[in-house]
């Protein structure tokens, strides 16, 4: 069995869905789970609808909702043209879903209050709508396809907008549901991004969570392969939006892929790799617009033997926090106290660099910095550098790659580097530059290692 995930750009219109169906047909005779995102741009529109509703702007929310409804109705008409029964059935389902969405909008508009639970419920409509229409489109081609609600198998905790998957429950629910659905079908279609608590309250896995959904289903079902179908032909040597001459990486390790996704690569959700690692399931990243291309195959670390630099990733907008205190000198417990503050405010730290009396670290700019700085200032001198970018050179056995540091820092010698972090890592060397220099730095590094 294989799991195929199709993101928003891979289901954005009728042409894209046609390609999806062709790809699914090509997977025969394997049993296939198809995981779909909302149509491109729909999640953003649902967020706007929720914002209008919570601000008491029911009319604005309704106008935007009507536009989304028309888009889905038109897609159903076009995909199912010639099958009047299926067209009418699908359009009725779409109208019913929007009727329920509009009821939620009206209630929120009256109360002018938007809870996380309500927001998760609103966001779920994107995936429910797309999967409803695509399910009928697959059936219309003669493929035996069953519909499965992800909320009945992707069980999370009660953090409604970024639910933490409960893997024991998922590993129980997924095989049960798929076994039932596959009895008379070759394909099962379900949704990415959404889940539910054990009590049945709807949750989401956070933005980009459809990859994570596919990996969790693949892990629980012991899939032979997890395929991530996107709009690029695999993981590239860097972001093609920054460098024109990138190329697809044919094979890479789980560790390299996890590091790339964590440090800014857009192709994979940072959490995708872990469930696959647990069951040693290969992950393949492919281009739904050019399905004939090879893409990138991600394998366990012991199956990948090529050393050296594989790719360059980056986070375009980060903030550097510098913490200075003479209390660090020959003392213990200072770092524990420091990181307790970041933990208290739920702020994740990416890079860390330390000296005897100074700690520098990087965080996302939307972190609760004002509160963190105020608390740190009770026992240290704190300074903040904004408008910075983080660059990571990722590969395998980098500590054993002779001359690597010289090549990296010679390539970027014309630019100011404000922080360097490698430490014990064998798969990445990261450093911080001014945000305005990012494009030039990435291009210089790419030229050094890949051109």
Q: Residue 183: give its domain's CATH number.
A: 3.40.1160.10
Dihedral of the alpha carbons of 329, 333, 337, 342, in degrees to the nearest 10: 90
The mean pLDDT of 79-84, rounded to a whole number, is 92
Last residue of a domain, one of 179, 203, 230: 230
In a domain, residue 119? The reply is: yes
Last residue of a domain, one of 170, 201, 230: 230
Q: Do 219 and 322 reside in the same domain of the chain?
A: no
The mean pLDDT of 372-399, rounded to a whole number, is 90
Q: Do 32 and 142 reside in the same domain of the chain?
A: yes
Q: Find the CATH number of the domain harbouring 375.
A: 3.30.2130.10
In a domain, residue 373? The reply is: yes
Given a cut of 60, is residue 445 above it in pLDDT? yes
What's the confidence (pLDDT) of residue 257?
Answer: 86
In a domain, residue 294? The reply is: no
Number of structural domains, the chain? 2
Q: Do 12 and 152 reside in the same domain of the chain?
A: yes
Which of the four pLDDT bands, split at 50, 70 and 90, describes residue 425?
low
The mean pLDDT of 246-259, rounded to a whole number, is 88
Record the pTM: 0.87
Instruction: Tell me which residue range forms the domain holding 61.
Output: 2-230
Each residue's pLDDT tens digit, 133-175: 999 999 999 999 999 999 999 999 999 999 999 999 999 999 9
Its sign, for the CA torsion 308, 211, 368, 337, is negative
Each residue's pLDDT tens digit, 304-313: 888 889 999 9
In a domain, residue 245? The reply is: no
What's the confidence (pLDDT) of residue 424?
Answer: 55
Given a cut of 70, is residue 339 above it in pLDDT? yes
Q: Do 225 and 347 reside in the same domain of the chain?
A: no
55: helix, coil or strand? Answer: coil
What's the confidence (pLDDT) of residue 190?
Answer: 98
For residues 276 and 215, the model is more confident at 215
In a domain, residue 280? The reply is: no
In a domain, residue 7? The reply is: yes
Q: Do 82 and 209 reside in the same domain of the chain?
A: yes
For residues 328 and 282, the model is more confident at 282
- Give the list of residues 6+ apart from residue 373 with CB closer than 8 angstroms, or none: 321, 382, 384
Which of the four pLDDT bands, split at 50, 70 and 90, describes residue 22?
very high
The mean pLDDT of 229-252, rounded to a whole number, is 89
Q: Do 339 and 211 reside in the same domain of the chain?
A: no
Given a cut of 80, is residue 262 above it in pLDDT? no
Which strands, in side-by-side order, build the sheet including 296-299?
Answer: 145-147, 187-191, 32-36, 2-6, 225-230, 283-287, 296-299, 251-253
Last residue of a domain, one of 168, 196, 230: 230
Given a cut of 60, is residue 423 above it in pLDDT? no
What's the confidence (pLDDT) of residue 330?
Answer: 66
**Residue 249: what are its φ and ψ, rounded to 5°?**
-95, 125
Average pLDDT, the chain: 91
The mean pLDDT of 25-35, rounded to a whole number, is 91
Dihedral of the alpha carbons of 180, 128, 90, 42, in degrees to the nearest 10: -150
What count of Cα atoms within 13 Å lies in the side-chain half-sphere of residue 162?
5
Highest mean pLDDT pick, 61-65, 206-210, 327-331, 371-375: 61-65
Q: Do 77 and 165 reside in the same domain of the chain?
A: yes
Q: Do 23 and 169 reside in the same domain of the chain?
A: yes
Closest CA to 202 of 172, 145, 232, 160: 160
Of 115-119, 262-266, 318-322, 392-396, give the lowest mean pLDDT range. Answer: 262-266
Of 315-324, 359-368, 379-388, give the lowest mean pLDDT range. Answer: 359-368
Burial class (CB in 10 A: 0-12, 13-18, 19+), 339: middle
What's the confidence (pLDDT) of residue 329?
Answer: 67
What's the confidence (pLDDT) of residue 143?
Answer: 94
């Amino acid at each position: 069995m294989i799991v195929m995930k199709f993101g928003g750009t891979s289901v954005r219109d009728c042409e894209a869905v046609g390609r999806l169906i062709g790809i699914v047909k090509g997977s025969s005779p394997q049993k296939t789970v198809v995981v779909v995102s909302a149509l491109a741009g729909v999640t953003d529109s649902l967020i706007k609808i929720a914002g209008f509703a919570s601000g008491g702007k029911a009319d604005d929310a309704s106008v935007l909702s009507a536009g989304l409804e028309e888009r889905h109705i038109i897609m159903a008409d076009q995909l199912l043209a010639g099958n009047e029964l299926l067209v009418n059935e699908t359009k009725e389902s779409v109208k019913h879903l929007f009727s329920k969405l509009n009821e939620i909008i009206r209630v929120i508009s009256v109360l002018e209050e938007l809870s996380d639970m309500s927001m998760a419920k609103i966001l779920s409509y994107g995936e429910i709508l797309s999967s409803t229409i695509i399910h009928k489109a697959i059936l219309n081609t003669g493929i035996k396809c069953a519909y499965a609600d992800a909320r009945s198998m992707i069980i999370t905790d009660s953090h409604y907008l970024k639910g933490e998957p409960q893997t024991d429950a998922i590993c129980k629910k997924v095989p049960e549901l798929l076994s039932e659905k596959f009895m008379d079908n070759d394909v099962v279609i379900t949704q990415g991004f959404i889940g539910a608590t054990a009590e049945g309250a709807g949750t989401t896995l956070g933005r980009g969570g459809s990859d994570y959904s596919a990996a969790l289903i693949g892990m629980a079902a012991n899939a032979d392969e997890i395929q991530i179908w996107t709009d690029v032909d695999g993981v590239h040597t860097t972001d093609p939006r920054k460098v024109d001459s990138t190329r697809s990486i044919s094979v890479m390790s789980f560790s390299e892929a996890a590091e790339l996704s964590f440090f800014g690569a857009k192709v994979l959700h940072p959490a995708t790799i872990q469930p696959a690692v647990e069951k040693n399931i290969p992950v393949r990243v492919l281009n739904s617009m050019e399905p004939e291309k090879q893409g990138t195959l991600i394998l366990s670390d012991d199956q990948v033997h090529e050393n050296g630099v594989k790719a360059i990733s980056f986070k375009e907008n980060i903030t550097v926090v510098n913490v200075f205190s003479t209390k660090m000198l020959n003392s213990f417990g200072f770092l524990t106290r420091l990181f307790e503050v970041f933990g208290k405010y739920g702020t994740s730290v990416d890079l860390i660099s330390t000296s005897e009396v100074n700690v520098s670290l990087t965080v996302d700019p939307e972190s609760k910095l004002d509160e963190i700085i105020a608390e740190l200032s009770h026992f240290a001198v704190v300074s903040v550098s904004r408008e910075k970018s983080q660059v990571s050179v990722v590969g395998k056995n980098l500590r054993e790659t002779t001359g690597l540091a010289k090549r990296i820092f010679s390539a970027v010698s014309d630019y100011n580097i404000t922080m360097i972090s490698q430490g014990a890592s064998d798969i990445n060397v990261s450093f911080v530059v001014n945000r305005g220099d990012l494009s030039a730095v990435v291009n210089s590094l790419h030229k050094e290692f890949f051109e």
